[in-house]
């Protein structure tokens, strides 16, 4: 059978359309599907996250992720705009259980990001209902009027607390932040230490201090030494980078070098508040931690924390 010239042309157009469809729609997806990541720091809409937890699961499944952990901001016993309400906690846990049951091929875990506020909030207080905890310092002491000082919120609020609580003494305020981190580790150790040096986002253009200052490095090293005596995992958190609040992850690369020297396990998290940020900056960060000397990250697998080899394409096993 011979094809006429118009038939050949039509066949060419058909083949071209099919090729374009595949190259436009499927190629980028196939590239993404080659990556296998995990993320244990995600905020759904039970706190200040913008996406329903089911949307995170959809993306995690599309990315063929190895594990996904939810870590809404735990309730606090004082006004907190970004925290979960106490009365929603059991619904939050039930919704994760339902997602686990309907997605047997994805490891989904129950967590919370819990503040350490002495006498008021402790990372261990919900241990009985969770698979893991992230312990974070978002508040350092309180204003004379009783408001808790949020250290990673608006810069103007940071400066207000710095003046009002610490008489403008940056070193005293930052030292207190790391002291509180150490107190959390020794009295209510979480599974994961959240964004270890997040307070640095207030140090715009290094105008408050230098991370090279010996007093600052001493505080960080003391904190790392405290963590090294425990089982805690330190997260490498990419949120500051994609939010453009920091050019480096939490914690900074020089701190990660010390963490590597002390053989403390790390995990890679994006602190996602939207489903699209589930693996934001992960290949870049995998590259950075490889350059520092890490060849694995520690993740929950089958209910246990285990090291897995990582490269810029994700976790291998």
Q: Between 125 and 296, whose beta carbon lies closer to Zn ion?
A: 125
Q: How far is the CB of 317 from Zn ion (least distance, A)?
A: 26
Q: Is 267 in the site for Zn ion (CB under 5 A)?
A: no
Q: Between 48 and 213, whose beta carbon lies closer to Zn ion?
A: 48
- Binding string, residues 210-249; x marks residues near Zn ion by CB under 5 A: ----------------------------------------
Q: Name the segment binding Zn ion (CB under 5 A); options: 6-14, 109-117, 203-211, 292-300.
A: 109-117
Q: Between 113 and 219, whose beta carbon lies closer to Zn ion?
A: 113
Cis peptide before 159 (omega within 30 of 0): no
Q: Between 242 and 260, whose beta carbon lies closer to Zn ion?
A: 242
Considering only 136, 202, 203, 279, the residue that binds Zn ion (CB under 5 A) is 136
Considering only 107, 197, 271, 277, the residue that binds Zn ion (CB under 5 A) is 271
Q: How far is the CB of 50 from Zn ion (least distance, A)?
A: 13
Q: How far is the CB of 77 from Zn ion (least distance, A)?
A: 18
Q: How far is the CB of 292 from Zn ion (least distance, A)?
A: 23
Q: Name the segment binding Zn ion (CB under 5 A); options: 128-136, 156-164, 201-209, 278-286.
A: 128-136
Q: Is 113 in the site for Zn ion (CB under 5 A)?
A: yes
Tokens found for residue 37: 């990541």
Where does this chain bind Zn ion (CB under 5 A)? 113, 136, 271
């Amino acid at each position: 059978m011979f094809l006429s010239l118009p038939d050949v042309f039509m066949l060419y157009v058909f083949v071209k359309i099919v090729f374009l469809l595949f190259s436009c729609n499927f190629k980028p997806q196939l590239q993404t599907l080659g990556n296998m990541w995990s993320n244990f720091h995600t905020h759904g809409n039970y706190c200040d996250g913008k996406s329903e937890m089911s949307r995170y699961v959809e993306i995690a499944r599309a990315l063929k992720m190895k594990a996904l952990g939810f870590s809404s901001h735990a309730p606090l016993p004082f006004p907190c705009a970004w925290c979960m309400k106490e009365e929603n906690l059991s619904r939050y846990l039930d919704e994760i259980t339902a997602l686990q049951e309907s997605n047997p091929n994805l490891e989904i875990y129950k967590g919370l990001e819990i503040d350490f506020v002495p006498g008021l909030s402790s990372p261990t207080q919900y241990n009985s209902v969770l698979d893991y905890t992230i312990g974070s310092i978002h508040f350092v002491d309180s204003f004379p009027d009783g408001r808790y000082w949020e250290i990673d919120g608006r810069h103007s609020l940071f400066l207000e607390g710095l003046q009002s609580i610490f008489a403008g003494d940056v070193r005293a305020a930052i030292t207190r932040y790391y002291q509180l981190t150490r107190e959390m580790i020794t009295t209510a150790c979480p599974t994961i230490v959240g964004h270890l040096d997040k307070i640095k986002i207030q140090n715009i253009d290094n105008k408050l201090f230098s991370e090279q200052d010996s007093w600052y490095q001493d505080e960080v090293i003391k904190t790392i030494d405290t963590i090294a005596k425990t089982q805690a995992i330190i997260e490498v958190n990419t949120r500051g980078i994609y939010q453009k609040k920091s050019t480096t992850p939490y914690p900074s690369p020089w701190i990660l070098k010390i963490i590597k020297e002390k053989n403390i396990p790390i995990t890679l998290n994006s602190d996602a508040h939207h489903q699209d940020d589930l693996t934001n900056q992960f290949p870049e960060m995998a590259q950075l931690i490889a350059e520092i000397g890490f060849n694995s990250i520690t993740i929950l697998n089958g209910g246990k924390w285990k090291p897995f080899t990582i490269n810029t394409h994700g976790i291998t096993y």
